[in-house]
């Protein structure tokens, strides 16, 4: 090789590899960014908790034990309405003499209807007829999906305006309008879990060591109808499997929270050796090609019970309540199953601990991440997530997983171990 050629190769190598100075500078910038992120997290969380205590003091001063009527608001989504049942149960214990009503969307009515802590469940269609309340607790996150609002022809801003002007509570917790601007005293990014935020909004103390008890009560008529329409064998335990959500091109998460159909098929076949497998879900969350693949799979395996697109929400709640176990990606069936006392294996990409609870002590739930969460409580997004970082600063915390079908990285054997923990009596032993 000539001297000129050697020089060209060396030049390309130097150009293609970062210098020590560049690496050192990037490392310093990255470390500094991490320290700044941690400082921001601690500062923002401390300020949020300080406001929480101030609101508790305001609450005690306003009502002085004379709290008569409470309205809890959660319009969407279905799993979040199920989680809100833990809040109404806590409120019932804290204020046993108060009337507690609930406002939701007609689409989520089946999840909260019949709850023992709630006197009346209203839907958005009843918004104009609500009476006066002492305290409105709005647990809704911003911009609920249009599918929950469109049937009533209202915008979320109109809902907030109605709650602020017509109901006119003495205390309004959670998301509300102030001079036509939407404000809230909590920040989900500073909470240790999504459930903690709900409890902070309701001015109730939250124990991160335990997942608060939720409760969804299947409608007796729907349960009887389900038993008649889809009688399941009694000699084997029944495992429910969720079809998945937000497939690539079909939702905001672009397949991040779900599995591929190939993975779903392997999971179903593995479970079918020990369980009667029932598949639940809706086809519109999958692409046409995926549904064609799924239908072809069903044609080859007639022992699989397919309830996709066949149940109303009332019926789905009743179906899930009859399962021995549910295996699901992150979506509403997880929360419905937990609220009906059904053991759950939840499949996540990297944030199960954040979404559910930092330390889950409930025996009926095992959450599996396909990769370790960022830091201990999965502090994330603009504080601890590479997705919101400029990669040139090297301020990184983890390797960003493939966006589509990240759940596929969970080994089936790990799901087996989780099932063995939840249902130790199911034999033979899991592989």
Q: What is the mean pLDDT of the chain?
A: 83
- What token pair was written down for 143? 């911009």
Least confident of 12-16, 131-135, 371-375: 12-16
Share of the chain above pLDDT 90, in %: 50
Instruction: Round to whole Å and give the CA distance between 155 and 103.
Output: 15
Please give the pLDDT value at position 21.
63
Task: List pLDDT tens digits, range 267-281.
Answer: 999 999 999 999 999
What's the mean pLDDT in 88-105? 95
Instruction: Round to whole Å and give the CA distance between 102 and 74.
Output: 8
Task: List pLDDT tens digits, range 380-420.
Answer: 444 444 444 444 444 444 455 556 888 999 999 999 999 99
Task: List pLDDT tens digits, range 318-364.
Answer: 999 999 999 999 899 999 999 999 999 999 887 665 566 655 545 68
Please give the pLDDT value at position 24.
57
Using the predicted structure, report yes or no on whether residue 9 has a pLDDT greater than 80.
Answer: no
Using the predicted structure, report yes or no on whether residue 426 has a pLDDT greater than 50.
Answer: yes
pTM: 0.86
Query: What homologous superfamily does CATH list for 220-422?
Result: Glycogen Phosphorylase B; (3.40.50.2000)
Let me know: does 422 contact 343? Beta carbons within 8 Å. yes
What's the mean pLDDT in 134-159? 87
Let me know: does 383 contact 189? Beta carbons within 8 Å. yes
Using the predicted structure, report yes or no on whether residue 195 has a pLDDT greater than 80.
Answer: yes
Task: Grade residue 201 by pLDDT with cuts at 50, 70 and 90.
Answer: very high
Q: Higher confidence at residue 288 or residue 164?
A: 288
CA angle 328, 84, 120 (to 5 degrees): 125
Helix (H) or strand (E) holding 366: strand 365-369
Token look-up 């080994």 returns 411
Task: Grade residue 282 by pLDDT with cuts at 50, 70 and 90.
Answer: very high
Instruction: Round to whole Å and give the CA distance between 417 and 394.
Output: 37
Task: List pLDDT tens digits, range 204-213.
Answer: 999 877 788 8
Using the predicted structure, report yes or no on whether residue 429 has a pLDDT greater than 60.
Answer: no
Spatial strand order of the sheet with 99-104 comes to 120-123, 99-104, 69-73, 135-138, 171-174
| Beta-carbon count within 10 A of 57 CB | 10
- Virtual CA dihedral for 410, 416, 418, 421, nearest 10 degrees? -170
Instruction: Round to whole Å and give the CA distance between 423 and 417.
Output: 10
CATH code, residues 42-201: 3.40.50
Using the predicted structure, report yes or no on whether residue 308 has a pLDDT greater than 70.
Answer: yes
Please give the pLDDT value at position 280.
97
Please give the pLDDT value at position 29.
65
**Per-domain boundaries in the chain:** 42-201, 220-422
Query: For residue 171, which phi and psi values (nearest 5 degrees)?
Result: -140, 135
Using the predicted structure, report yes or no on whether residue 91 has a pLDDT greater than 80.
Answer: yes
Task: Grade residue 121 by pLDDT with cuts at 50, 70 and 90.
Answer: very high
Helix (H) or strand (E) holding 173: strand 171-174
Please give the pLDDT value at position 151.
75
């Amino acid at each position: 090789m000539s001297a000129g050629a050697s020089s060209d190769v060396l030049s390309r190598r130097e150009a293609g590899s970062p210098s020590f100075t560049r690496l050192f500078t990037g490392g310093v910038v990255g470390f500094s960014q991490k320290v700044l992120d941690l400082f921001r997290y601690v500062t923002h969380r401390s300020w949020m908790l300080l406001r929480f205590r101030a609101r508790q003091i305001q609450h005690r001063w306003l009502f002085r034990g004379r709290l008569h009527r409470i309205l809890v608001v959660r319009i969407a989504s279905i799993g979040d309405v199920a989680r809100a049942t833990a809040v109404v149960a806590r409120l019932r214990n804290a204020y046993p003499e108060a009337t507690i009503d609930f406002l939701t969307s007609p689409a989520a009515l089946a999840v909260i209807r019949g709850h023992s802590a709630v006197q009346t469940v209203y839907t958005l269609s009843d918004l104009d007829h609500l009476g006066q309340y002492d305290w409105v607790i709005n647990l809704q996150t911003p911009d609920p999906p249009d599918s929950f609002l469109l049937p009533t022809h209202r915008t979320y801003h109109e809902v907030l305006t109605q709650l602020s002007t017509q109901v006119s509570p003495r205390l309004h917790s959670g998301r509300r309008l102030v001079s036509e601007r939407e404000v809230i005293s909590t920040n989900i990014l500073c909470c240790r879990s999504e459930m903690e935020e709900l409890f902070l909004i309701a001015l109730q103390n939250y124990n991160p060591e335990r997942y608060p008890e939720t409760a969804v009560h299947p409608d007796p008529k729907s349960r009887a109808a389900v038993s008649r329409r889809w009688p399941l064998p009694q000699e084997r335990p029944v495992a429910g499997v969720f079809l998945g959500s937000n497939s690539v091109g079909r939702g905001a998460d672009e397949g991040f929270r779900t599995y591929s159909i190939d993975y779903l098929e392997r999971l179903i076949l593995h479970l079918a050796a020990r369980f009667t497998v029932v598949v639940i879900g809706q086809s519109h969350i999958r692409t046409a090609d995926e549904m064609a693949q799924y239908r072809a799979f069903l044609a080859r395996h007639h022992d699989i019970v397919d309830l996709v697109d066949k149940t109303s929400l009332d019926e789905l709640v009743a179906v899930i309540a009859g399962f021995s176990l549910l295996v699901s990606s992150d979506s509403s069936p997880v929360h419905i199953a937990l609220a009906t006392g059904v053991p759950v294996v939840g499949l996540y990409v990297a944030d199960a601990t954040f979404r559910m609870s930092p330390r889950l002590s409930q025996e009926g739930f095992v959450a599996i991440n396909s990769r370790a969460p960022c830091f201990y409580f999965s502090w994330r997004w603009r504080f601890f997530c590479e997705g919101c970082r400029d990669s040139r600063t090297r301020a990184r915390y983890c390797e960003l997983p493939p966006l589509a079908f990240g759940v596929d990285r969970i080994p089936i054997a790990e799901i087996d171990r989780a099932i063995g923990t939840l249902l130790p009596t199911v034999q033979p032993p899991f592989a």
